[in-house]
A and B are shown apart, each in its own frame.
Chain A
Amino acid sequence: MVDADPFLTMQGIVKHFPGAKALDGVDLDVRPGEVHCVLGQNGAGKSTLIKVLAGAHQPDAGEIRIDGEPVTISSPVAALKLGIATMYQELDVVDGLSVAENVYLGHELSTGGLVNRRAMNSGARALLKQLGHPEIHASEEVGRLSAAGKQIVSMARALSRKARIIVMDEPSAVLDAEEVANLFRVVKEVTATGIAVIYISHRLEEIRQIGDRITVLKDGRSVATGLEVSDTPTLQLITLMTGRTVEYAFAARPHVDPEAPEVLVVEDLGLEGVFSDVSLSVRAGEIVGLAGLVGSGRSEILETIYGARRSSSGRVRVNGKRLAPGSVPAAVRAGVGLCPEERKSQGLLLDEPIYRNITLSTFARFARGSFLDEQSERRAAKEQIAALDLRPGDPNRDARTLSGGNQQKILLARWLEHGCRVLVLDEPTRGVDVGARAEIYALIARLAAAGTAILVVSSEIPEVLGLSDTVLVISEGRVVHRGPARDIDEHRVLDLVMEGRAA
């Protein structure tokens, strides 16, 4: 089975989006009957790859072969015809229809133009039985099923389409442990019949249990293709996912003045069910980094400090003054700025000019009374543009047209203009070209040198270690280590992360 010719091969797949390269050379080959895991951090290109396979996106370059024949997957219908079925994370079942109607959605069984309910019900029953779930009634409304039940329905649909590959996008994310075990059993049964499964996840333990081979994505590239699960150590996988692909250029950090005032103090902060007892402090001019895997709660910690989520316990103080929990305006007024993880959806007004994006939190300050002073806004934006070397430098250009690195500079410029005492950066180099990263690093270091207290989160451990003075390692919503960044290396961080998970 393992030596079989690949059913699907993808080679050198490239996909650009305006301002960013989502896929930049992905190779993948899938053999019949195997579970092929695709592993990668958020933003590594997993979802884009799925959409290329499902026919929702067209690749800009590269080749896809099925049974050795080059193919074009021009639409979702074409993908199904080629035998590729996709189970999205937000399951694409219709809650208001019955199980059988969902299974045969888009290819209803009919006689003489009328839907043949009886044939669909019995067909669905057979498929559900094949999947080991005869207890799901074919006539039941799908909205009443649990997430696990809906997955089974979605899988039955793939089978009814005579799929030869089922792409599963993080199916375990919505399941509890028992449901996951059941899902794995079903996956094993399906693959025993020769159907291949592409299993997308960032949970390493699962991949150990279910996977045959692994492809690791990072920054839109496949950094390893077709590794055998049985002879790949977990540590190697994590290194592939998070490790350095380029030499990072970090300037040496000057010693932080130990007498410098503690600008940001977080005490016993907690968010029900996500993280608890997080305490930290950042001095003026200090960079504190949070290291941890996806799902460790690191982004949530930043958002809670910022007031974008309401903490369930603990306190946040800025310059000694306590911030009202769950209030972004309070944090902003106190001089805290956040550069969010998802720049486009959380940070920018894409169809508005650069200068208005830069002054989004300060336009009222420029205004005379309630009347905007756009000339002053433009002038201030131009100064920031020059200071950060933002390109292209025309303040009237729409933010959408800029590259990822320059969009990040818009957000930094926004908070510089605001005059932040505390800057909170979530994945500051996500989607930023390698060349522009060094610039962002230099900027962050310059901001710290000017006395800003900086708190930064990154998926890339070398980045956190290289940028920060102090590092906190987060695992499963708890701080498992804190100490100077120079006293710890990448492997030690990974060990801590793994220990935290085992505990």
Chain B
Amino acid sequence: MSTTTAPAAPPEQAPARRRFALPGSLVRNLGLVIALVALCIVGYVTAGDRFLSTDNFVTILRFAAVIGVVSIGMTFVITAGGIDLSVGSVLGLASIWASTLATQTMAGQVHWSIIVLTACLVGAGCGLVNGVLIAYGKVVAFIATLAMMVGARGLAEMISDKRTQIVTENDFLDFFRGSPLGVPMLVWIFALVAALGWVLLNRTTFGRRTIAVGGNPEAARLAGIRVREHTVALYVLCGLCAGLAGAMMLARTTAGSSTHGTLYELDAIAAVVVGGTLLMGGRGTIVGSVLGVLIFSALSNIFTLNNLSISAQSVTKGAIIVVAVLLQQRFASRSLSSP
């Protein structure tokens, strides 16, 4: 562009700057990894080899899997500036609907994939209702999904008559209980969902639209993006994840229950926010959400191994959320003030 610059300079300039631009997200994820490693050290010091064993790590991952899948869907909704409080209830409803199908409607003659499909469809359906209410009914996301949270839980109780429905479909249970390459199927599913989520958010037009809608919905609208359609799609995606998590829960516990997923919405939001996704939208990270889920899962494990109460666990969780958000704000204000 300019004739006064040294001959070799222009093409090299851009990559050099990019290297300068990267650390923001990298540093944040690095911070989470450090926190996770620190937690593992605490685990080793307090519980010794009981913590530091392959079996125990598999346990941590297995327990992270269900909430992890929920958190991936939640990451999309929060990145777009929304919130979904209904995921826990939808998970419960999906597990009930699918187990009803397996134990009553089509007992004994249903292929395992139909059970999974049912759970996913129930989740996506609830997400569709959420999305339409929010995008077209102009109901605030907090309220629309709060209503779904209450309603879906109630519906699950009505369908199941508040009874736990034991599933005995062997092919269904066998599929989810398998451990290809020594890793439980639930963990494989979580890994797959996370990988797909990462690609979707970072490498596709869908992800770009999500960030645009979260960063500035009016600018996105005036640039010709169909904001309402996209909002519906996001809540369907989040519901779908909750439904799939319902099927995973059904397999892990061998039963559908209307109490499945209670308070999962809060765990998922906590993991997403601790992971570095901005609650006000415009910036989201799948890797961060996965690390957030693992941190909370490892924490629970350490507390259980040390025979500490659930209550002490909750207090620590609360402290972690506060510290993580405070650190995040520090980062955010620094990145805003420096040009």
Contacts and interface: CB of A to CB of B under 8 A. Distances in A.
Nearest to A393: B1
A372 B216 contact: no
Interface in A317-347: 328-329, 331-333, 338, 340, 345-347
Nearest to B206: A370
Given A346-B219, A351-B283, A393-B1, A356 B224 contact: no
B208 A346 contact: no
B1 A386 contact: yes
Would you call the interface of chain B mostly helix, strand, loop, or mixed? helix
A490 B207 CA distance: 49
A308 interface: yes
B215 A414 contact: no
Interface string B194-229: 000000000111111001100110111111111000
B17 interface: yes
B319 interface: no
A450 interface: no
A326 to B, nearest CB: 12
A414 B1 CA distance: 20
A363 interface: yes
Contacts of A353: 21
Contact of A370 (B17, B21, B204): B204
A378 B283 CA distance: 20
Which of under 10, 10 to 19, 20 to 34, or 35 or more describes the interface residues of B? Answer: 20 to 34
Contacts of B204: 367, 370-372
A333 B224 contact: yes
A400 interface: yes
A479 to B, nearest CB: 24
Contacts of B226: 329
B135 to A, nearest CB: 15
B14 interface: yes
Contacts of A331: 224
Contact of B205 (A332, A363, A393, A394): A363
A347 to B, nearest CB: 5
B109 interface: no
Contacts, number: 87
A338 B13 contact: no
Contacts of B21: 353, 396-397
A396 B1 contact: no
A184 B226 CA distance: 46
B90 to A, nearest CB: 26
A363 B211 CA distance: 13
Contacts of A400: 336
Contact of B219 (A349, A372, A386): A349
Contact of A347 (B17, B18, B222): B222
B113 to A, nearest CB: 25
B205 A367 contact: yes
A371 B223 contact: no
Nearest to B16: A394
Given A394-B13, A395-B14, A308 B222 contact: yes
A361 B225 CA distance: 7
A328 B222 contact: yes
Interface in A390-416: 393-397, 400-401, 414
Contacts of A371: 203-205
A404 B14 CA distance: 23
Given A308-B221, A328-B221, A328-B224, A349 B206 contact: no
B14 to A, nearest CB: 7
B318 interface: no
A348 interface: yes
B319 to A, nearest CB: 28
B256 interface: no
| Residue of B1, B14, B216, B221 contacting most chain A CB atoms (<10 Å) | B216
Interface residues of A, number: 39
| Residue of B18, B205, B282, B336 contacting most chain A CB atoms (<10 Å) | B205
Contacts of B222: 306, 308, 328, 338, 340, 346-347
A251 to B, nearest CB: 23
B339 interface: yes
Contact of A352 (B18, B211, B339): B211
A174 to B, nearest CB: 23
A345 B216 contact: yes
A248 to B, nearest CB: 27
Contact of B215 (A18, A351, A370, A372): A351
Contacts of A77: none
Nearest to B21: A396
A361 B223 contact: yes
A349 B215 contact: yes
A351 B211 CA distance: 10
A363 B14 CA distance: 20
Contacts of B221: 308, 328
A347 B219 contact: yes
Nearest to B339: A401
B111 to A, nearest CB: 30
Given A346-B216, A356-B208, A360-B225, 5 more contacts: A332-B224, A372-B204, A372-B208, A394-B14, A396-B17
Interface of A: 18, 306, 308, 328-329, 331-333, 338, 340, 345-353, 356, 360-361, 363-364, 367, 370-372, 378, 386, 389, 393-397, 400-401, 414
Interface of B: 1, 13-14, 17-18, 21, 203-208, 211-212, 215-216, 218-226, 282-283, 336, 339
11 contacts: A331-B224, A345-B216, A346-B216, A348-B216, A349-B216, A349-B219, A350-B216, A353-B21, A361-B224, A363-B208, A389-B1
The 4 closest A-B pairs by CB, nearest first: A332-B224, A349-B215, A361-B223, A360-B223
